[in-house]
Amino acid sequence: MLIENLKLKDFRNYKNLDVDFAKAFNIIYGNNAQGKTNIIEAVFLCASGRSHRTSKDIELMKYDAAGFGIKLLFEKENIQEEIEIVYTPEEKKKIKINEIPVKKIGDLMGHLNAVIFSPEDLLVIKQGPAERRRFADITLSQLKPSYFYDLQQYAKILYQRNTLLKNIVVKRELEATLDVWDRHLVRTGSRIMAIRSGFIKKLDKLAAARHAKLTNNEEILMLKYSPSFEIDDNFNNQEIEEVFTRVLEKCRTREIQRGSSMYGPHRDDIDIILNGESTKIYGSQGQQRTSVLSMKLAEIDLMKEESGDSPVLLLDDVLSELDDKRKEYLLENIIGLQTFITCTDKRFFQRSTENAALFYVENGNIANDIYLR
């Protein structure tokens, strides 16, 4: 995966940007609040259909503009592709791939694969299960477009089923229609659970290996899928469906009393365990940061394994947060990946590397770029 050119129009603080990138390292440097992360955000939007910072597309539009546009040219398995996203508040996001309009955001998935690593990733450990589900969902959606559709479908089913559960309390005869929604929930939910379970099993192995190296075999990192009801970790779709159906039958009265769906992938979590203890509860800030780094490196390994192509790597402000040893390890282990690094000080990046470029960002302009070849 190789990003060649990015064009922005009225995106965040960029009026017009047209920039060619280097094949290995792209170091985007400058003072705070100049537009470094905005570039990373635009690239990530093309990969995942969403910003890593906001779910409100309107915030991405330049303050005084009527809409925004992004055009990204990249090479995938030696074939050039182009993603174009145009947004207006009235028409929302419109996407074209190789100049052909696509109907759904889901059609974007699987074209450009990117892994982002930013300070907010610490939330994967620090915050609640929703952050950990999001971590899994973003990677899985890029790898399997059908998974993204299932997620969207599941959200709709869940909403309908919850509404129905609330209405049954006041209108008892509605219970007869619950069976249909149970079946939808079980079918789509089980597919999501089977994929997540397999994903976390693979990620666990890769992250453990990465973490052992990062810590000189001093720490053992484990990732474990933790669904809302017990399943065996090698259950297939159908086996999950059977358990899920039984769980729903058993808890129907309670779900009606509560007026909400208590079981299913919307209640999934991932346990992140360091030396046998919860990283969230017992891990130091540094241990948490290293665990996330191991998970991200594992995410890259997995993307390579599953798609046969290296993802692009977006490192937003992370180098300043790592100690020298970990920084060195990270930089050594991303050789071969096209990487975009933001930092405030270019001295940070002292190694002379081939195929690298430095971009100085100031107030929504890339003032100069120096190619080191």
Q: Which is nearer to Mg ion, 254 or 347 (CB)?
A: 347
* Binding map of Mg ion across residues 99-128, x = CB under 5 A, - = no contact: ------------------------------
Place of tokens 């990117």: 114
Nearest approach in angstroms of CB 157 to ligand ATP is: 34
Long-range CB contact pairs, 61-68, < 8 A, 24+: 61/10, 61/11, 61/87, 61/89, 62/10, 62/11, 62/12, 62/13, 62/14, 62/15, 65/10, 66/10, 67/10, 68/8, 68/9, 68/10, 68/11
- Residue 13 binding result from Mg ion, ligand ATP, none, given CB thresholds of 5 to 8 Å by partner type: ligand ATP
Distances in Å between the Cα of 331 and the Cα atoms of 22, 48, 305, 356, 373 are 16, 24, 20, 13, 18
Selected range binding Mg ion among 30-38, 58-66, 255-263, 319-327, rule: CB under 5 A: 30-38
Nearest approach in angstroms of CB 122 to ligand ATP is: 15
Residues 37-66 that bind Mg ion (CB under 5 A): 37
Selected range binding Mg ion among 32-40, 154-162, 225-233, 305-313, rule: CB under 5 A: 32-40
Nearest approach in angstroms of CB 123 to ligand ATP is: 16
Selected range binding Mg ion among 29-37, 240-248, 257-265, 364-372, rule: CB under 5 A: 29-37
CB proximity list for 88: less than 8 A, separation 6 or greater: 66, 67
- Structure token pair of residue 263: 């079981």
Please give the full DSSP string across 41-99, using - where no structure is assigned.
HHHHHHHHSS-SS-S-GGGGB-TT-S-EEEEEEEEETTEEEEEEEEEETTTEEEEEETT
Selected range binding Mg ion among 23-31, 35-43, 113-121, 203-211, rule: CB under 5 A: 35-43
Q: Which is nearer to ligand ATP, 239 or 317 (CB)?
A: 317
Residues that bind ligand ATP (CB under 6 A): 12-13, 30, 32-38, 59, 61-63, 317, 342, 344
Residues contributing to the site for Mg ion (CB under 5 A)? 36-37
